[in-house]
Amino acid sequence: VFPNKISTEQQSLMLVKRLLAVAVSCITYLRGIFPESAYGTRYMDDVCVKILREDKNCPGSTQLVKWMLGCYDALQKKYFNNYWICLQTITECYHFKFKYTHNGPLLDFSSKDKRNDSTITCADTKKASILLIRKIYVLMQNLSPLPNDVCLTMKLFYYDEVTPSDYQPPGFKEGECEGMIFEGEPMYLNVGEVPTPFHMLKVKVTTEKQRMENVDKSILKHGETNVPLQVLQVDRDDPEVENQDVNV
């Protein structure tokens, strides 16, 4: 997963692609979306992770791998804005947001922390990456089980001012969704972030509040929103006020 150094945009882009694959794989594995045969085993230092792969006996995993390749296409062309993985209509939503600078892609979630990019080392990025995956594991293992008839949907959103009107990445078709209906009362969670000199990756999760009732409160920081939203809107500013942090 980790390059020996992150001194170029291409090295940073490759790392973000790999982290995105690891995060999506961990989420689908721990939520029981696909069978064990659809995953291979890899290690991030001392952390064992499951990586989704194409499995001829599991068409769903093969389709998701193809979707991920389409995400990479949009990311590399700098069209990508928002990336949502949704379960049901909607019981859980995993949200990634992308921004770009003249230095390269910036995977960002409007973090309040202002960093000097020149101080970010490869060791910092590696440490943050491992912590992010560990937090995903903790959160996924504490969420209540999904319904038996769960359906996974992936939605991409683009920067209209730079994306060709006829562009669709491989595996995707045009949609009209500006928001997504959420069943029940949603709870917003900030899981963690990974900085590089060229990118910022931060994972956010929205789930039904009742699914969090049995979660050990020690893994959550206080500051729960008092405004339950029934429609999840694509918010380019992504205000932090509506989120809790997973504190592991």
User: What does the block give as tokens for 35?
Assistant: 């069978």
pTM flag (> 0.85): no
Task: With a cut of 60, say whether residue 236 has pLDDT above it.
Answer: no
How far apart (Å, rounded) are the C-alpha atoms in residues 208 and 198? 34
Decide if 4 is inside a domain. no
111 CB-contact burial (10 Å; exposed 0-12 / middle 13-18 / buried 19+): middle
How far apart (Å, rounded) are the C-alpha atoms in residues 225 and 240? 10
DSSP assignment, residue 31? T
Provide the domain count of the chain.
1
Decide if 243 is inside a domain. no
Q: How confident is the model at residue 21 (pLDDT cuts 50, 70, 90)?
A: very high
Q: What are phi and psi of 224, to 5 degrees?
A: -60, 140
Please give the radius of gyration of the chain, using alpha carbons only, rounded to the nearest integer. Answer: 17
Q: What is the DSSP string of 34-61?
A: S-GGGEEEEEETTEEEEEE--BTTBHHH
For residue 20, the enclosing domain spans 9-232
Residue 14: CATH number of its domain? 3.30.900.10
DSSP assignment, residue 162? T
Q: What is the mean pLDDT of the chain?
A: 76
DSSP assignment, residue 14? H
Decide if 175 is inside a domain. yes
Decide if 154 is inside a domain. yes
Decide if 237 is inside a domain. no
Decide if 244 is inside a domain. no
- pLDDT at 222 (0 to 100): 35
Decide if 32 is inside a domain. yes
Decide if 3 is inside a domain. no
Task: With a cut of 50, say whether residue 3 has pLDDT above it.
Answer: yes
**Strands of the chain, DSSP E:** 39-44, 47-52, 80-87, 92-97, 99-101, 104-106, 152-158, 179-181, 186-195, 200-208, 231-233, 244-245
